[in-house]
């Protein structure tokens, strides 16, 4: 026990293991913004990959895996590269998609819905996958956005350690800012492997979160029209 406390102290952690577990099981999110240190991007990607590879190799060694085995030799590097370049690439603001707008010349002033956008993220409490579908709608305020950019915004914020509530809000607020309209709705329906592959091991349940602003928040008819399009009941 003393050795464990000493190790935690050296890492700047003063919280008990029981508290760790409670935070994870209660699905706590600490802020709207993804928690990042001020110096998060001072280190370049290549150095991050090198350091993560070193530490992941040590994790594998501690678990007793034989890193001289042909199948395992390259795993630390593959994991490090995957973390930095792929599954957590949304942490870096330089990867944020540019949301180019176009004038709404055809004067389309009804709801635009893009549904069933596939996304993959990772639970920030256990670093295991979250995956599912996002459904997005907006009403133009004079400009429109390319459809693929909506997918890219969803993917950008998904590629971070996340909780689903924060992810939903980040996508909704980004679309409001990018489109210059308050009339935005987002619904996310996702499976959490921290629920299905560990803990309670429930493989059937999914989690639904929503973001409504403008007409979607204040006008029941508008909200119900959106829900009808994506075939989810209120």
- Other CB atoms within 10 Å distance of the CB of residue 130: 24
- Distance CA(172)–CA(134), nearest Å, equals 11
Domain ranges of the chain: 2-95, 101-230
What is the CATH architecture assignment of 2-95?
Orthogonal Bundle (1.10)
Say if residue 31's pLDDT is above 50.
Answer: yes
Say if residue 8's pLDDT is above 50.
Answer: no
pLDDT score recorded for residue 177: 94
Given the residues 135, 155, 162, 164, the one annotated as active site: 164
The per-residue pLDDT for range 177-207, each reduced to its tens digit, is: 999 999 999 999 999 987 767 767 777 789 9
The per-residue pLDDT for range 139-162, each reduced to its tens digit, is: 998 888 989 999 999 999 999 999
Distances (CA, A) of 49 to 19, 175, 233: 30, 31, 44
Say if residue 14's pLDDT is above 70.
Answer: no
**Among this protein's residues, is 201 annotated catalytic?**
no
**Among this protein's residues, is 25 annotated catalytic?**
no
Given the residues 53, 123, 155, 170, the one annotated as active site: 123
- Distance CA(122)–CA(126), nearest Å, equals 8
Mean pLDDT computed over every residue of the chain: 88
Q: What pairs with residue 162 in β-bridges?
A: 123
- Strand stretches in 54-203, DSSP E: 101-103, 111-123, 129-139, 143-145, 161-162, 184-192
Given the residues 135, 155, 174, 192, the one annotated as active site: 192
Given the residues 50, 120, 126, 225, the one annotated as active site: 126
**Among this protein's residues, is 53 annotated catalytic?**
no
Confidence of residue 175 (pLDDT cuts 50, 70, 90): very high
pLDDT, mean of residues 96-101:
89
**Among this protein's residues, is 194 annotated catalytic?**
yes
Distances (CA, A) of 9 to 3, 14, 39, 108, 125: 10, 6, 21, 59, 20
Region of 189 please: left (phi>0), alpha (psi -120 to 50) or beta: beta
pLDDT score recorded for residue 234: 46
- Distance CA(58)–CA(50), nearest Å, equals 13
pLDDT score recorded for residue 17: 59
Q: What is the fold, at CATH topology level, of the domain defined by 101-230?
A: GTP Cyclohydrolase I, domain 2 (3.30.1130)
| Tokens 């400009």 belong to residue | 143
The per-residue pLDDT for range 63-93, each reduced to its tens digit, is: 999 999 999 999 999 999 999 999 999 999 9
Residues 6+ apart with CB under 8 A from 226: 111, 113, 135, 137, 185, 216
**Among this protein's residues, is 126 annotated catalytic?**
yes
């Amino acid at each position: 026990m003393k050795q464990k406390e000493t190790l935690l102290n050296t890492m700047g952690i003063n919280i008990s293991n029981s508290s760790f577990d409670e935070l994870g099981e209660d699905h706590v999110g600490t802020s709207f913004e993804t928690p990042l240190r001020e110096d998060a991007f001072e280190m370049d990607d290549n150095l991050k990959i090198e350091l993560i590879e070193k530490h992941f190799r040590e994790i594998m060694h501690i678990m007793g895996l034989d890193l001289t085995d042909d199948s395992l030799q390259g795993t630390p590097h593959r994991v490090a590269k995957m973390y930095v370049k792929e599954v957590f690439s949304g942490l870096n603001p330089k990867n944020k998609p540019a949301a180019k707008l176009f004038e709404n010349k055809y004067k389309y002033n009804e709801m635009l819905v893009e549904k069933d956008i596939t996304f993959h993220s990772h639970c920030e409490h256990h670093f295991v996958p979250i995956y599912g579908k996002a459904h997005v709608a907006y009403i133009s305020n004079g400009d429109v956005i390319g459809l693929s950019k909506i997918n890219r915004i969803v993917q950008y914020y998904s590629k971070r350690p996340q909780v689903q509530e924060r992810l939903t809000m980040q996508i909704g607020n980004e679309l409001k800012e990018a489109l210059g309209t308050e009339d935005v709705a987002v619904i996310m329906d996702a499976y959490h492997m921290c629920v299905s592959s560990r803990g309670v091991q429930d493989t059937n349940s999914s989690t639904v979160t929503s973001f409504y602003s403008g007409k979607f928040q204040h006008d029941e008819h508008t909200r119900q029209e959106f829900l009808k399009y994506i075939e989810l009941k209120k």
